[in-house]
């Protein structure tokens, strides 16, 4: 399975339930949400009980440059210090020490691959981007001196808007694929522009993200893992990503810088959602109820085992659809969708476009029958994705049969 769990706050039995179910193929642990000693014990437990599971540890070093940081357990890790500024990354020796401390913690953790430390940058040409490259270079150097270590994936966390500069993205690709780097793979996180939970992705930016993944994963044969992706992980996989990760609720499903900043307590409780593969979206339960009432429920069901919770009840709202069930159903849905991919880029992109067109048509039919979707669960993302994929196909020369 190429769907991974993005570890967040309050794991309880969510991870083991999904692994027992065979829904996911890996876990990306986050340092911020576990004490170091608890993390070591838990990783060892998962490694012992699920020997084929891919395990990664995101050190979340990037939180150190945010202020005021909501860093939870991060200060207990030896590689983390809050409040770092650009001046803290001057000097080769200092950057090497950051890389060494971060990778050293992971070496005996039992992970499938090491993830390098990195910071968040807003442009592929700004000062922070250069610091991210320096951290990656220092990580490669330290990793090369280790005896039989796990593979190393170079981490990069960048703002969604950074993808707008196509020339800068191309220069980044030229730099990280040069022979001197000997990179085995990459772990990418995109800091999403919109803070609310939705599936929208500006078409030209999605095209650049797909191209980034395609060049590294497909053309260069490197491992590419995309964190915090949610449904957009499917087109990323179609373009050549090895795997994608998403969390159990709306916060760790997508990456927003603001989630790692301190903010006043409170806020609205998230409403229950249903992950509908035919719509390529996670819709609200009351919207699923409206679909049921117009007699179109079967057309939006994902076709996964936990759908039984809905179909065995008199209606969706009578199904006892809890947050825990919704979380597991989300992974089942993404795993099923990923399972339809063949690993052949041209074919998978064609199929993904067909699925999205069908989703767009189904949305329109439901709207015509009176089903009203809220802005963040409607069909806006479908047309944007179709434009983005089409633009990427033209960029990559993948439009011919």
pLDDT in tens, 155-205: 999 999 999 999 999 999 999 999 888 889 999 999 999 989 999 999 999
Taking CA atoms, 108 is separated from 74, 212, 309, in Å, by 19, 31, 41
CA-wise closest residue to 331 among 24, 16, 22, 64: 24
> In whole numbers, what is the pLDDT of the chain averaged over residues?
96
Indicate whether 299 pLDDT > 60.
yes
The token pair that represents 341 in the structure block: 């991919």
Q: What is the pLDDT of residue 361?
A: 98
Higher-confidence position of 1 and 95: 95
Indicate whether 266 pLDDT > 70.
no
Distance CA 237, CA 217 (A): 10
Distance CA 273, CA 302 (A): 13
What is the residue whose two structure tokens read 């997508």?
254
Cα-based torsion angle of the residue sequence 170, 207, 223, 218 in order, rounded to the nearest 10 degrees: -80
- For residue 267, what pLDDT band results from cuts at 50, 70 and 90? low
Q: Which residues lie closer than 8 Å to 113 by C-beta, 6 or more apart?
A: 56, 150, 151, 152, 153, 184, 185, 223
- For residue 400, what pLDDT band results from cuts at 50, 70 and 90? low
Helix 127-144 vs helix 92-107: crossing angle, to nearest 10: 60
Indicate whether 112 pLDDT > 90.
yes
Domains of the chain: 3-260 (3.20.20.105), 273-396 (no CATH)
- For residue 271, what pLDDT band results from cuts at 50, 70 and 90? confident
Tell me the per-residue pLDDT of 314-323, one tens digit each, with 9 for 90 and over.
Answer: 999 999 999 9
Q: What is the pLDDT of residue 38?
A: 97
Percentage above 90 pLDDT, the chain: 94
The DSSP bridge partners found for residue 189 are 157, 227
Q: Give the number of C-alpha atoms closer than 13 A to the C-alpha of residue 100, restricted to the C-beta side.
A: 10
Tell me the per-residue pLDDT of 140-160, one tens digit each, with 9 for 90 and over.
Answer: 999 999 999 999 999 999 999
Q: What is the pLDDT of residue 342?
A: 97
Q: What is the pLDDT of residue 92?
A: 96
For the beta carbon of residue 274, count every other beta carbon within 10 angstroms.
31
Tell me the per-residue pLDDT of 21-70, one tens digit each, with 9 for 90 and over.
Answer: 999 999 999 999 999 999 999 999 999 999 999 999 999 999 999 999 99
- For residue 295, what pLDDT band results from cuts at 50, 70 and 90? very high
Query: What average pLDDT score do residues 372-380 get?
Result: 96
Tell me the per-residue pLDDT of 192-226, one tens digit each, with 9 for 90 and over.
Answer: 999 899 999 999 999 999 999 999 999 999 999 99
Q: Which residues lie closer than 8 Å to 362 by C-beta, 6 or more apart?
A: 278, 279, 299, 300
CA-wise closest residue to 34 among 80, 101, 1, 100: 80
């Amino acid at each position: 399975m190429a769907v991974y769990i993005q570890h967040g706050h309050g794991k309880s039995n969510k991870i083991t339930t999904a692994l027992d179910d065979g829904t996911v193929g890996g876990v990306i642990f986050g340092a911020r949400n576990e004490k170091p000693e608890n993390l070591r014990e838990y990783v060892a437990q998962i490694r012992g009980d699920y020997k084929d599971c891919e395990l990664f540890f995101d050190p979340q070093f990037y939180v150190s440059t945010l202020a005021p940081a909501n860093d939870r357990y991060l200060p207990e890790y030896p590689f983390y210090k809050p409040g770092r500024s650009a001046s803290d990354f001057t000097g080769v020796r200092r950057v090497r020490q950051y890389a060494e401390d971060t990778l050293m913690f992971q070496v005996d953790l039992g992970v499938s691959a090491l993830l390098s430390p990195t910071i968040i940058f807003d442009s592929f040409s700004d000062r922070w981007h250069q610091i991210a490259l320096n951290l990656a270079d220092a990580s490669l150097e330290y990793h090369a001196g280790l005896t039989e270590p796990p593979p190393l994936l170079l981490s990069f966390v960048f703002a969604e808007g950074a993808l707008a500069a196509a020339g800068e993205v191309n220069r980044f690709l030229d730099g990280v694929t040069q022979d001197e780097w000997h990179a085995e793979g990459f772990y990418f996180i995109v800091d999403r522009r919109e803070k609310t939970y939705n599936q929208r992705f500006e078409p030209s930016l999605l095209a650049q993200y797909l191209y980034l993944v395609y060049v590294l994963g497909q053309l260069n044969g490197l491992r590419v893992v995309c964190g915090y992706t949610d449904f957009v992980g499917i087109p990323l996989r179609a373009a050549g990503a090895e795997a994608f990760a998403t969390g159990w609720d709306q916060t760790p499903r997508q990456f927003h810088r603001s989630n790692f900043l301190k903010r006043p307590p409170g806020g609205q409780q998230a409403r229950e959602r249903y992950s509908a593969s035919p719509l390529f979206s996670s819709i609200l339960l009351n919207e699923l109820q409206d679909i049921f009432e117009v007699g179109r429920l079967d057309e939006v069901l994902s076709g996964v085992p936990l759908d039984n919770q809905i179909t065995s009840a008199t209606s969706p709202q009578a199904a006892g659809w809890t947050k825990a069930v919704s979380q597991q159903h989300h992974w089942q849905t993404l795993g099923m969708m990923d399972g339809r991919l063949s690993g052949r880029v041209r074919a998978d992109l064609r199929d993904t476009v067909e699925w999205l067109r069908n989703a767009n048509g189904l949305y329109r039919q439901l709207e015509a029958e009176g089903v009203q979707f809220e802005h963040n669960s409607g069909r806006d993302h479908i047309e944007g994705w179709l434009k983005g994929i089409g633009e990427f196909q033209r960029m990559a020369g993948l439009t011919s049969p």
